[in-house]
Amino acid sequence: SADVVPQAPEDPLFGLMAAYRKDSDPKKVDLGIGAYRDDNAKPWVLPVVKEAEELLRKDPDLNHEYLPIAGLADFTSASQKLILGKSSPAIAEKRVTSIQSVSGTGALHLGALFLARFYNPSTPDAKTIYVSTPTWANHNQLFSNVKLPMKGYPYFSKETKGLDFEGMVSTIESAPEGAIILLHACAHNPTGVDATQDQWKKIAQVMKQKRHFPFFDCAYQGFASGSLETDAWAINHFVEQGFELMIAQSYAKNFGLYGERAGCFHFVAAPSENAADEVSRVGSQLAILQRSEISNPPAYGARVASLVLNDEKLFAQWEEDLRTMSGRIKEMRKQLRSKLEQKKTPGTWNHITDQIGMFSFTGLTEQQVQTLREQYHVYMTKNGRISMAGLNTHNIDYFAESVDKVVRG
């Protein structure tokens, strides 16, 4: 009977959201949310998405039939080109197999399941996935669900509030040969700290020496820097270096299609005579896993994204929308840093603008986070992570003042 089922702890982020909703103070600020908000703190439907939806509505042939197991072919092929580049040799050489997924989470899960089932390194204890410390909290549950052993590699330096590059590289270097390394392609969640291109080159070099297997989580392409190419640079550097690798691609943030669950999983084979055959075998197994898990992926979000990705004019408009989102976030970073520096709030604040993407690791302590919540109605996760998208021209002064007071104690 269900007597044996223990009560699970509440998801901390959802608990935070509930507390925010209950707070009746008009000054309250929500910096927990992992979704883009416009300057009025409202969800933003991208204009290009509205246009694509309009086209879908007008399509007399549209129906609600199932998609194929691997998803919408126009969507998965456009997704390959988006992440690997239109003229990617990997695509031309047919070294890529792709399958539509339930957003980024579904792609990560499918990849995890595939690795748990088929990854077979020569050193058995290399069948371990290394994730950054800290990482997106869901990574931990996701990999433990498929019983893939997990270890951490250092990532965030508390001193510099930047990358602990030495720590990261030395742990990756000392991992057993052939280990799986999970890498955030850009806009690391939760820290907002990314490696520079030179640092990525070094990481790739070490991973190549150790024959490690890269698994890229790409949830913010175009959303971080505003440039789709820049945000996919690390992945493509690894592809150029001849790695066999996997990519989990999400369209939640960059299309604002959060609830539509549009995403894609890619497996890229290393250049070799057998690559096309490898890709065909991997694809066939992915299809079996997909069938047993979700049967076939959701259609609507993929249709919207596919229309945009496959049409030059809509694509250009999408890039404009991406610049609107990333631009607003960068502007909030600039303003927050300058307000704190003007107030001479104790500490250094350059990390606010050095970090990138949706989130910033402020360096605020758990105690300070609690005070901000209880006395100032400002809500953020207790590790001091703020969602930059929760800041806007109406609340940024109040937030900077609150941080200043709390830091001064």
Cis peptide bond N-terminal to 176, omega within 30: no
Rank residues 247 and 372 by Cβ distance to ligand PMP and give the closer one: 247
Smallest distance from ligand PMP to CB 105, Å: 3
**Is residue 189 at the binding interface for ligand PMP, with CB under 6 A as the rule?**
yes
Mask for 231-250, x = binds ligand PMP (CB under 6 A): -------------------x
The stretch near ligand PMP (CB under 6 A) out of 19-27, 64-72, 97-105, 363-371 is 97-105
**Is residue 219 at the binding interface for ligand PMP, with CB under 6 A as the rule?**
yes
**Is residue 387 at the binding interface for ligand PMP, with CB under 6 A as the rule?**
no
Residues 184, 328, 330, 337: which binds ligand PMP (CB under 6 A)? 184
Mask for 198-217, x = binds ligand PMP (CB under 6 A): -------------------x
Asked whether the beta carbons of 214 and 267 are under 8 A apart, the reply is: no
Stretch 24-83 residues interacting with ligand PMP (CB under 6 A): 34
Stretch 105-134 residues interacting with ligand PMP (CB under 6 A): 105
Asked whether the beta carbons of 252 and 222 are under 8 A apart, the reply is: no
C-alpha span between 233 and 98 (Å, rounded): 19
The amino acid at residue 18 is A
Catalytic residue among 210, 253, 330, 339: 253
Smallest distance from ligand PMP to CB 136, Å: 4
Residues 103, 221, 254, 381: which binds ligand PMP (CB under 6 A)? 103
In degrees rounded to 5, what are phi and psi of residue 103? 55, -160
Residues 70, 252, 378, 391: which binds ligand PMP (CB under 6 A)? 252
Give the single-character DSSP code of 266: E
Q: Say whether 136 is catalytic.
A: yes
C-alpha span between 142 and 124 (Å, rounded): 21
Catalytic residue among 28, 30, 44, 136: 136
Smallest distance from ligand PMP to CB 184, Å: 6
Residues 130, 136, 349, 361: which binds ligand PMP (CB under 6 A)? 136
**Is residue 363 at the binding interface for ligand PMP, with CB under 6 A as the rule?**
no
Rank residues 256 and 263 by Cβ distance to ligand PMP and give the closer one: 263
C-alpha span between 247 and 254 (Å, rounded): 16
Q: Say whether 28 is catalytic.
A: no
DSSP β-bridge partners for residue 272: none
R_g of the chain computed on alpha carbons: 22
Cis peptide bond N-terminal to 134, omega within 30: yes
Stretch 258-317 residues interacting with ligand PMP (CB under 6 A): 258, 263
The amino acid at residue 252 is A
Rank residues 162 and 301 by Cβ distance to ligand PMP and give the closer one: 301
Asked whether the beta carbons of 305 and 119 are under 8 A apart, the reply is: no
The amino acid at residue 199 is Q
Query: Residues for the chain: how many in total?
Result: 409
Angle 130-135-141 from CA coordinates, rounded to 5°? 75
Cis peptide bond N-terminal to 154, omega within 30: no
**Is residue 256 at the binding interface for ligand PMP, with CB under 6 A as the rule?**
no
Asked whether the beta carbons of 186 and 357 are under 8 A apart, the reply is: yes
Q: Say whether 339 is catalytic.
A: no
C-alpha span between 311 and 348 (Å, rounded): 45
Q: How many residues bind ligand PMP (CB under 6 A)?
A: 13
Catalytic annotation, residues:
136, 217, 253
Contact residues toward ligand PMP (CB under 6 A) are 34, 103-105, 136, 184, 189, 217, 219, 250, 252, 258, 263
